[in-house]
Structure 1
Amino acid sequence: MSARVLADFEGRWRIARRIMPSGQPEAAFDGEGVFARSDEGLAYHESGQLQIPGQTAMQSERRYVWDKDLNVFFQDGRFFHSVPNAGGETEHWCDPDHYYVTYLFEKWPRWRVTWRVLGPRKDYLMITDYSHKGSSA
């Protein structure tokens, strides 16, 4: 498998996400992520429906910026984490919680990101599957 480069991510992606909080029912997110060219690299925007058991589905979205080295930044410019270009593990510390993440690219252009979040405020597993939908144009 070849290493991923920033241009590989450009375009539209279908997103299917499962959120499994410890000791609570599983939630689901279904939506779309778009990586579009920007001055910094690729601007990422995802939007879709978040379904939490026992609640009305709600609109959910998030935004990040990815640079040419696959560093991910929050929309306000703060560093978030680096994506291993061949897939693999990385992490993010958000005091007092620790975010462990694994990127899997073996089935490209389908890929998976798994987050395991542990700390006094958070305890959950989140698995996100991406499948390519085509160009962002």
Structure 2
Amino acid sequence: MSEPAPAPSPPLAPWGSPDAVFDRLAGEWTLQRNIEGQASMSGVATFTPLETGMLKYREEGRIRLTDGKEFDGHREYLFERAPGGFLVHFAETPPRLFHAIAIVRDGDALAGSATHLCTPDTYDSSYRFLPDGSFTIRHTVHGPRKDYLSATVFSRRAG
């Protein structure tokens, strides 16, 4: 006697399915970043829809080095919808691919990861979309020029 097939997993609120994550990124987020042993950053990240269908990602914040020095910083990327996830491009002309993230269910979260070779260093990146509506991005960088872990937590900015 065979067992019944397991029921499909329901979408994870508030992210929904992997295909829905891209749309749910639009808007403003607070960010808290720790670069292990080097710095921290607090700021705001905004995903702005563009006419091309991409999302322009811009983060701005205050960076504090471990020696106590502080300064303002910013960074931009372009996010592009892809089946079951998204592509992240460097905000250059023309855009250059950073990595492709395929999102899968991982316990009570959605997650995706990718590796980017920036010769001679390697970036291993992971994204987790959590049930409370927040998400995290971790970049583990190894190589002769760079060796660090950057962990960022994004929370929806209160209106």
Common topology (TM > 0.5)? yes
Stretches of structure 1 that go unaligned for 5 or more consecutive residues are none
- Say if 1:7 and 1:134 are closer, same or farther in 2 by CA, change over 3 A: farther
Query: What does the per-residue CA deviation read over 1:96-128, in whole Å, with 9 as the maximum and x for residues that have no partner?
Result: 000001111133510111111000000001100
Q: Distance in 2 between matches of 1:68 and 1:134?
A: 25
Q: Distance in 1 between matches of 2:55 and 2:31?
A: 17
Q: Distance in 1 between matches of 2:25 and 2:79?
A: 10
Name segments (4+ residues, structure 1) moved above 6 Å.
none
- Residue 10 (1) aligns with residue 34 (2): no
Question: What is the identity percentage for the equivalent residue pairs of Structure 1 and Structure 2?
Answer: 29
Q: Distance in 2 between matches of 1:121 and 1:107?
A: 36
- Residue 58 (1) aligns with residue 82 (2): no
C-alpha displacement of 1:89 = 1.9
Q: Which amino acid aligns with 1:124?
A: Y
C-alpha displacement of 1:55 = 4.2
| Residues 5, 68 of structure 1: 8 Å contact kept | no
Which of the two has higher C-alpha Rg? 2
TM-score (norm 1): 0.88
Q: Which structure's relative contact order is higher, taking Cα pairs within 8 Å and 6+ residues apart?
A: 1
Stretches of structure 2 that go unaligned for 5 or more consecutive residues are 1-11, 105-110
| 3-state SS of paired residue (2:131) | coil
TM-score (norm 2): 0.77
- Residue 68 (1) aligns with residue 92 (2): no
Q: How many residues end up aligned between the 2 structures?
A: 131
